[in-house]
Structure 1
Amino acid sequence: MQHEIELSVLPEHIADEAHIIHKGAEQLKIAPSRVKGLKIRKRSIDARSKKQVVFRIRVIFFIDEAPTPDIYNVRYANVAGGKPVVIVGAGPAGLFAALRCLEKGLRPIIVERGKNVQERRRDLARLNKEGIVNPDSNYCFGEGGAGTYSDGKLYTRSNKRGDVQHVLQVLVAHGATEDILVDARPHIGTNKLPHIIQAIRHTILNQGGEIHFNSRVIDILESFGRVRGVKLANGASITADDVILATGHSARDLFELFHRKGWLVEPKPFALGVRIEHPQEIIDQAQYHCAVRDPHLPPAYYSLVEQVGARGVFSFCMCPGGIIAPCATDKGEVVVNGWSPSKRNNPFANSGTVVQVNLSDVPQTARYPFAMLDFQHEVEERADVIGGGRLVAPAQRMVDFVHGKLSDTLPINSYKPGTRSAPLSEVLPPFIHDALKQALPLFGKKMKGYFTNEAILVGVESRTSSPIRIPRDKLTLQHPQLTGLYPCGEGAGYAGGIVSAAIDGMNCADAIPL
């Protein structure tokens, strides 16, 4: 017999199975000896009470019977002789599209402009230490996509798009901890995610799929409106009647290819702002209502949103115990993002803090589909000029930013290429600067200690999502002008994060006829 109930558990008892069994038995009004095992199904932190922080857990108790083990392995067919499907991009959308192809008996052929996860590390080291960008291998391009070295956060609201739990179970089957199946905000960590991506690669290759690294697509082959494959920068071509385009949000060259060929692309709203970093202890004190965080509690998280006039300002991709990373994909631009290791044990907490950019904010969008993309790029270029080059980022203390004061000094921070004190009003468009200026003190009223000059604003956080959408039919998921082409994931404008991109990849693979 099984019973599922909800319990509140103090932080010091969250890992104490005997304590949880005792509490559960008390609620179920049975003897603890009758409980033969338990499974935690959901776990979250409740810090609403200023007196006591607790864990809320949903638990299945096995009464008078042994618990059954969970098995997360997925059966994949060997597809060596199967129908080929070209997948452009080895991010979460591309990799999960490939895994779904294996399930269907289709043979995935992934082409990725960047390097595998091991070789990417050298290019990321040069980014951080020398400010040198490899345009094909960086935080955005390479095996695993942007998420591999940008945290591995798995929280999503995309349940209506597909089976979130299946994505998490596939990750567990490839080496992720089972904690991601129960935590309210699941997270893998940049130090662990590369090994999981490598395991997924081995699954694809072992079952007859192909993966080609350092292979940049320069053309999509078509005949009479039907896709016939792709052409690579090295002159080679790969033939297939179905192509999943899962390039990520920064593959500007492929957007330009579509425009040159007269294939439909359209501008899309996105968000732009800065990355804000606090000492983690400030966030812990505010969220846990304590002077020192309980060692049984993880570094605290926050989510903030404010309406300034008709415009939304919100925190994005919050990284407790994290690091700010340089995410430029070409020289002459500064782009920042954030990540955390699995233990989230760095002394800083950072979050993108961004403002909605609507089509009406960039009037040229009515006649030019690349207007939003150009708007994004111009801000990134200004950040580079004002930062002084080599990925040094313009930055300002928070209170100084709101009061229009150049910071005399900047706090110690986690951004390795370096920061330079500069007025961010010279980097950010006026409507974004003004919205942030109004929102930050309001955030401070919601969260004690947030509005402080111990916090630093680092510019710019601009790759929140793609400013371009590649349209597709709602039923077939194919481009309206190209039969067999499936625009997919973040780069095509249909996802926002690892899990939603993975779901979209599976959905596109499901749309391919056998």
Structure 2
Amino acid sequence: MPETVFFDLSPERAADPREVDRAVAAKLGRRIDAGRYRVVRRSIDARMARIRVRLGIQVYADGETVASDRPVFGYRDIGNATPVIVVGAGPAGIFAALRLLELGLKPVVIERGKEVKPRRKDVAALNRRGILNCESNYAFGEGGAGTFSDGKLYTRSKKRGDHGRVLHRFHQHGADKQILLDAHPHIGSNRLPQIVSAMHATIVSHGGEIHFSRKVTRLKIVDCRAVGVVLDDGRQVDGAAVILATGHSAGDVYRMLADQGIAIEAKPFAMGVRVEHPQKLIDRIQYHGRERGPFLPPASYSLVRQIDGRGVYSFCMCPGGIVVPAATQQQSVVVNGMSFAKRNSGYANAGIVVETRLEDIPDMRNTVSLGGLDYQRTLERIAFEHTGGQMVAPAQRLVDFVVNRASSSLPACSHPPGVVASPLHQWLPEPIRLRLQAGFKAFGSSMKGFFTNDAVVVGVESRTSSPVRIPRDPQTLQHGSVTGLFPCGEGAGYAGGIVSCAVDGERVAVAVAGFLQD
């Protein structure tokens, strides 16, 4: 078995293969040929003023070769195999479909949005002209919300499945091999569309189906078993099972389930704002006043505090990114973040959100299970009203927001449709506002320079997680009262982010295969 060793180098030395060779020899006490080892891990330690790159090196003994641990994905040409309906073509749905192919089942993917190429035109129209297509936008369409995002490929939850398989599957479809090494890998929104298209090609070339611009309006249930779906044009699509992987922005799916008497339940979620700083400022803070230079990436941060019994934390931090309009309904404003592969926008943004529980919601309208969803949508409409009825986003300087002072002007902001000065401190719900204000002060204490009026707070960040969970059995992964219905991914309340959604998609595909074999 190969030996794995770890050591630290300066960023400059870590970027030079000859220096890495010398460091490996010094670590092992002997000279070793470059073909006899490989880098398997790379991370940056910027906790001290002396910034280091930590490398993990796998070294092979005499007679051994640098063997690949890449998994083999055995996609089958499934022909007339049993069809399984997959509702949603986000990370959970796509990875479920790919895994179904390996298991000899036919994925029939139904996506309300468009393919990547026409979807890009709709996103461009939203960015440049403020024209929102409610079915094709940053949330809906091929690849889901992950397609036009930073493309972060790391997760804190590594016990639910093999996240390494997910990274290798991305690499197989065109992602840079660096994602297999970096401690915090990302792809970038400029590269993700091509990768998503390559996955599409794999599914279709092996006999799977993907149908775009088709919305599911009802589940077809016979004798308490899901046997297909009904589309918005009235057509029925039959399958041996249904994987529901619709994402957390598909609020109409939750209402569809409730209307059909299928159990759903409210769960805690998070809402807040997105804050944007100049990237050079974040670099100076995180790299201890040092110029970043060519050997270090744009600096990021991860922040969390407990404020008055609730977590206040950073979410989806995008170094070198931009703030994007992520609404899916007219007369609403939602913001999110994304970045390109080079992360070179000149701005750093992150969601700063507050844990929200049912007892924090003042008016639980409709049913309790949909109360959180209603709360989300109400806040998004309020944000829209404070823009003067435009697709721009309401914004306020950071210090002004914390001290309850209206901003007479705003710094430059990356949000493509633009921003308009708005007193967020006056209209954000008090449980969110007060905790955000205290959280920003605390973050400023731990990151000197973070708390500044050169930063802008943009509202609202309301889609960090699903406010609803679709219950499923922890062993079979099926809905508790509907056989053959497999809730999946972030929209069902079981994942968060690209990798964990993909892992959940693969798990559910395996569970479907087991169910159909019984």
Query: TM class, shorter-chain normalised?
Result: over 0.9
Answering whether residue 437 of structure 2 is matched by residue 437 of structure 1, we say yes
| Aligned mates of 1:446, 1:359 — CA distance in 2 | 30
| Aligned mates of 1:3, 1:291 — CA distance in 2 | 35
- For residues 321-400 of structure 1, what are the structure 2 equivalents within 5 Å? 321-362=320-361, 368-400=368-400
Secondary structure of 2:337's counterpart equals: strand
CA apart distance, 1:161? 0.7
Number of the residue aligned with 1:193: 192
Number of the residue aligned with 2:216: 217
One-letter amino acid of the counterpart of residue 122, structure 1: K
| Aligned mates of 1:327, 1:427 — CA distance in 2 | 20
| TM-score using structure 1 length | 0.97
Aligned residues of 2:243 and 2:487 also touching (Cα < 8 A): yes
Aligned residues of 1:40 and 1:58 also touching (Cα < 8 A): yes
Number of the residue aligned with 1:242: 241
| Aligned mates of 2:93, 2:68 — CA distance in 1 | 31
| Aligned mates of 1:63, 1:23 — CA distance in 2 | 17
- For residues 73-88 of structure 1, what are the structure 2 equivalents within 5 Å? 73-88=72-87
Number of the residue aligned with 1:401: 401
Answering whether residue 44 of structure 2 is matched by residue 56 of structure 1, we say no
| Aligned mates of 1:500, 1:364 — CA distance in 2 | 32
Number of the residue aligned with 1:292: 291
Bigger mean CA offset, 201-210 vs 226-235: 226-235
| Aligned mates of 2:109, 2:35 — CA distance in 1 | 46
Number of the residue aligned with 1:233: 232
Answering whether residue 6 of structure 2 is matched by residue 6 of structure 1, we say yes
One-letter amino acid of the counterpart of residue 56, structure 1: R
Unpaired runs of at least 5, structure 2: none
Secondary structure of 1:146's counterpart equals: helix
| Aligned mates of 1:7, 1:388 — CA distance in 2 | 56
Answering whether residue 116 of structure 2 is matched by residue 117 of structure 1, we say yes
CA apart distance, 1:67? 2.5
Number of the residue aligned with 2:170: 171
Number of the residue aligned with 1:419: 419
Unpaired runs of at least 5, structure 1: none
Aligned residues of 1:242 and 1:484 also touching (Cα < 8 A): yes
Secondary structure of 2:354's counterpart equals: strand
Number of the residue aligned with 2:151: 152
Aligned residues of 1:302 and 1:318 also touching (Cα < 8 A): yes
CA apart distance, 1:426? 3.2
One-letter amino acid of the counterpart of residue 79, structure 2: A
Q: 1:364 to 1:510 in 2, by over 3 A?
A: farther
Aligned residues of 1:6 and 1:57 also touching (Cα < 8 A): yes
Number of the residue aligned with 1:465: 465
Answering whether residue 31 of structure 2 is matched by residue 31 of structure 1, we say yes
Number of the residue aligned with 2:133: 134
Q: CA offsets per residue over residues 91-116 of structure 1, 9 Å max, x none? A: 00000000110111000000000001
Aligned residues of 1:383 and 1:394 also touching (Cα < 8 A): yes
One-letter amino acid of the counterpart of residue 269, structure 1: P
Secondary structure of 1:489's counterpart equals: coil
One-letter amino acid of the counterpart of residue 2, structure 2: Q
Bigger mean CA offset, 411-420 vs 12-21: 12-21
| Aligned mates of 1:510, 1:59 — CA distance in 2 | 33
CA apart distance, 1:363? 5.7
Aligned residues of 1:324 and 1:350 also touching (Cα < 8 A): yes
| Aligned mates of 1:408, 1:484 — CA distance in 2 | 57
Number of the residue aligned with 2:181: 182
Number of the residue aligned with 1:259: 258
| Aligned mates of 1:389, 1:295 — CA distance in 2 | 43
Aligned residues of 1:6 and 1:56 also touching (Cα < 8 A): yes
Number of the residue aligned with 1:102: 101
Number of the residue aligned with 1:503: 503
CA apart distance, 1:189? 0.3
| Aligned mates of 1:35, 1:85 — CA distance in 2 | 47
Answering whether residue 444 of structure 2 is matched by residue 453 of structure 1, we say no
| Aligned mates of 1:15, 1:37 — CA distance in 2 | 19
Aligned length: 512
| Aligned mates of 1:359, 1:71 — CA distance in 2 | 44
Aligned residues of 2:92 and 2:489 also touching (Cα < 8 A): yes
| Aligned mates of 1:104, 1:294 — CA distance in 2 | 48
One-letter amino acid of the counterpart of residue 419, structure 1: V
Secondary structure of 1:370's counterpart equals: helix
Aligned residues of 1:132 and 1:390 also touching (Cα < 8 A): no
Bigger mean CA offset, 255-264 vs 337-346: 255-264
Aligned residues of 1:478 and 1:486 also touching (Cα < 8 A): yes
Aligned residues of 2:402 and 2:425 also touching (Cα < 8 A): no
Secondary structure of 1:318's counterpart equals: strand
Aligned residues of 2:274 and 2:350 also touching (Cα < 8 A): yes
Secondary structure of 2:386's counterpart equals: helix
- For residues 12-27 of structure 1, what are the structure 2 equivalents within 5 Å? 12-27=12-27
Secondary structure of 1:296's counterpart equals: coil
| Aligned mates of 1:288, 1:451 — CA distance in 2 | 17
Number of the residue aligned with 2:315: 316
Aligned residues of 1:267 and 1:365 also touching (Cα < 8 A): no
One-letter amino acid of the counterpart of residue 398, structure 1: L
One-letter amino acid of the counterpart of residue 13, structure 2: H
Secondary structure of 1:426's counterpart equals: helix
Q: 1:291 to 1:25 in 2, by over 3 A?
A: closer
CA apart distance, 1:35? 5.1
Secondary structure of 1:438's counterpart equals: helix
Aligned residues of 1:25 and 1:35 also touching (Cα < 8 A): no
Q: CA offsets per residue over residues 343-369 of structure 1, 9 Å max, x none? A: 101100000000010121126559521
Secondary structure of 1:356's counterpart equals: strand
Aligned residues of 2:15 and 2:295 also touching (Cα < 8 A): no
CA apart distance, 1:475? 1.3
Q: CA offsets per residue over residues 170-211 of structure 1, 9 Å max, x none? A: 000111111111111110000001111001000000111000
| Aligned mates of 2:295, 2:346 — CA distance in 1 | 17
| Aligned mates of 2:61, 2:34 — CA distance in 1 | 5
| Aligned mates of 1:502, 1:237 — CA distance in 2 | 27
Secondary structure of 1:272's counterpart equals: strand
| Aligned mates of 1:492, 1:128 — CA distance in 2 | 29
The Cα RMSD (Å) is 1.4
| Aligned mates of 1:334, 1:24 — CA distance in 2 | 52
| Aligned mates of 1:232, 1:17 — CA distance in 2 | 55
